[in-house]
Structure 1
Amino acid sequence: MEILFLVLTGGLIGLIVGITGVGGGALMTPALLLFGFPAHIAIGTDLWFAALTKTGGLISHHRQGHVNWTIVRNLALGSLPAAVVTGILLSAWSDSPENYAPLLKSALGFMLILTSIALLFRTRISALYGRRQNTQADASGGSWRLIGVGIILGAFVTLSSVGAGAIGTAVLMIMFPYLVPKNIVGTDIAHAVPLTFIAGLVHLRLGNVDFVLLACLLAGSLPAIYVGSALSSRIPGQLMHPILASLLMLLGLKYALF
């Protein structure tokens, strides 16, 4: 019964991800915590969940030419080393994950609040910065800024499993307003896959991954994501996004403050 429950949980979250496009980490990790899984197991397992589920999207976007690899490279120059360093610091902190669990929960709460804000104001951000044409040089010209952003994302994604999706998308909208939506999504996914994979390896090294749990979640979520994608055009995002943003804000406040 427990396995069936986990498969259904993966299916429900996969359905929501398919309908709304909201990153699975922002939903999966809080759900696992609410079901009683320790913070380190929820975060470590969810990082592998994110890496595996987004790999198909990366391949698809790459084939369609939606990925700006210059931006991905510069973000990764900051985020991947930051993920490794964060893992080293966690390992040096304590041999027992329970000792750094409060830090993981606080980081999770902070990132859920930011994700909620990004969801609520995504349309305004897009409208504010417009869709003007620009040159590819912007991606390399802002390389140090991108590396800095990557460092922050790398550390917090490793600590919380949240942020590579909604927050990464908001950052790209602000820094590169000339990118059309499909390029923003493709570029964000192309960066999220190696980041979540490296962060997942960090947590695997720390012993924070439950592969039975991961298999159950994938079994439910992978088919449900496709169903949700098919239903997305029939369910208005104007209805779903505020509800999800409000839920994430409440969960973020819970883990950040309590």
Structure 2
Amino acid sequence: MTELFTGDFLPLLLVSSLIGVVIGLTGMGGGALMTPALVFLGIPPSTAVANDLVAAAVNKSVGATVHAKHGSPHFKLAKWLIIGSVPTAFAGAFIIDNLGDFDVQQTFLKTAIGCTLLITATTYFLRMYLELARGILDDPNAPDPEVRPIPTLLIGTLGGLLVGITSVGSGTLIMVLLLLLYPALSAVKLVGTDLVQAIPLVVSAAIGHVIVNGVDWSILVPLLIGGAPGTFLGARLAAVVPQSIVRRGIVIVLTVSSLAMLGVPSLWVGFSGAALLILGPVVWGLLRMHHGLPAFENEHLPGGRPKAARGRDSE
């Protein structure tokens, strides 16, 4: 038991707690943040992916159970996603294991994680924009859209492969693709469906990595201990913390992390982060104005719409 409480225990506990808060605040998947954080702490990419997937399998099961009890998931849609994602997610660890020796695998994983993070940052920004554009027109009582099996299957297949290799993509990427394919799907059903399909996806990927790499309990235990309380705290803070600001910050963090993982020189990573920090609010303000909203929101409302705009939309 004492071997669990190594010198890395407290840093891992702190990181998992902070990322849990972000997950609770925004509802995004943790792999996009947790895996690079573990790598930056000096943990080999393959070990980081394996342990993050096992922790995610536990955490997502809790969230999906809550949504299932409230009847929000679109189960027929989730079925096709699961059919596509489970086999490719399970295959991810075996694909990595057949790439070559340990060093080759870790180099490949760092590049793959970096590319996936860049894709995730882009799709996360796209998700924010789509939510802004849809605003309160989102109707949770709207009828379910007709399922398109083949495109949905392909989304699951792609998402499962990315998660199986990098542990990133089960939340943000799949949700954005579903938004594009099913624009009439309400936000609550979108989140519920994504959580339900993510359970077998992440469990399948986790099993594959456990078979190939095993788990490191000194890493997994602090991830489990810190993640749940952090997520609970984040969920409680979501009502008072402006999500728009947090989400834009996440886009910057994901982008900077991806560049660092891809080996971009630190100077350019710093310049890129500073440019996003300065120009990001300006671009977002222009997008809000394009949709008839104030450049900067003053109140915390779904979609970032002030009360006045909400009142006009409902009239």
Whether the TM-score (by the shorter chain) exceeds 0.5 is yes
Deviation by residue 1:24-49 (Cα, 9 ceiling, x = unmatched): 11111111011000000001111111
| Contact 2:91 2:164 (C-alpha < 8 Å) held by counterparts | no
Kindly state the Cα deviation for residue 81 of structure 1 after the two structures are TM-superposed. Answer: 1.1
Q: Is 2:222 the counterpart of 1:222? A: no
Q: Which position in structure 2 is the counterpart of 1:190?
A: 196
| Contact 2:155 2:174 (C-alpha < 8 Å) held by counterparts | no
Q: Which amino acid aligns with 2:158?
A: I
Match of 1:33 among 36, 39, 42: 39
Match of 2:92 among 86, 97, 102: 86
Kindly state the Cα deviation for residue 204 of structure 1 after the two structures are TM-superposed. Answer: 0.5
Kindly state the Cα deviation for residue 257 of structure 1 after the two structures are TM-superposed. Answer: 5.0
Quote the Cα distance in structure 2 between the aligned partners of 1:73 and 1:28: 27
In the TM superposition, what are the counterparts of 1:236-251 in structure 2 within 5 Å? Answer: 236-251=242-257
Q: Is 2:130 the counterpart of 1:125? A: yes
| Contact 2:63 2:195 (C-alpha < 8 Å) held by counterparts | yes
Deviation by residue 1:86-120 (Cα, 9 ceiling, x = unmatched): 333333334x4432122211221122112211222
| Contact 1:40 1:97 (C-alpha < 8 Å) held by counterparts | no
Alignment partner of 1:251: what SS? helix
Q: Which amino acid aligns with 1:80?
A: V
Q: Is 2:76 the counterpart of 1:70? A: yes
Mind listing any 5+ residue stretches in structure 2 that lack a counterpart? 1-6, 265-315
Q: Which amino acid aligns with 2:235?
A: S
The verdict on how the C-alpha distance between 1:86 and 1:137 changes in structure 2, with shifts beyond 3 A counting, is: same
Deviation by residue 1:116-145 (Cα, 9 ceiling, x = unmatched): 112222232235576489764621xx1111
Quote the Cα distance in structure 1 between the aligned partners of 2:219 and 2:132: 40
Q: Which has the larger radius of gyration?
A: 2
Q: Aligned residue pairs: how many?
A: 255
TM-score between the two structures when normalised by the length of structure 2: 0.76
| Contact 1:126 1:173 (C-alpha < 8 Å) held by counterparts | no
Q: Which position in structure 2 is the counterpart of 1:138?
A: 146
Q: Which amino acid aligns with 2:146?
A: D
Report which structure shows greater RCO (CA 8 Å, sep ≥6): 1
Quote the Cα distance in structure 2 between the aligned partners of 1:38 and 1:88: 17
Q: Which amino acid aligns with 1:47?
A: L
Q: Which amino acid aligns with 2:109?
A: L
Match of 2:160 among 148, 154, 157: 154
| Contact 2:121 2:254 (C-alpha < 8 Å) held by counterparts | yes
Q: Is 2:23 the counterpart of 1:17? A: yes
- Identity level (%): 29
Question: What value does the CA root-mean-square deviation take over the aligned residues?
Answer: 2.0
Quote the Cα distance in structure 2 between the aligned partners of 1:56 and 1:102: 33
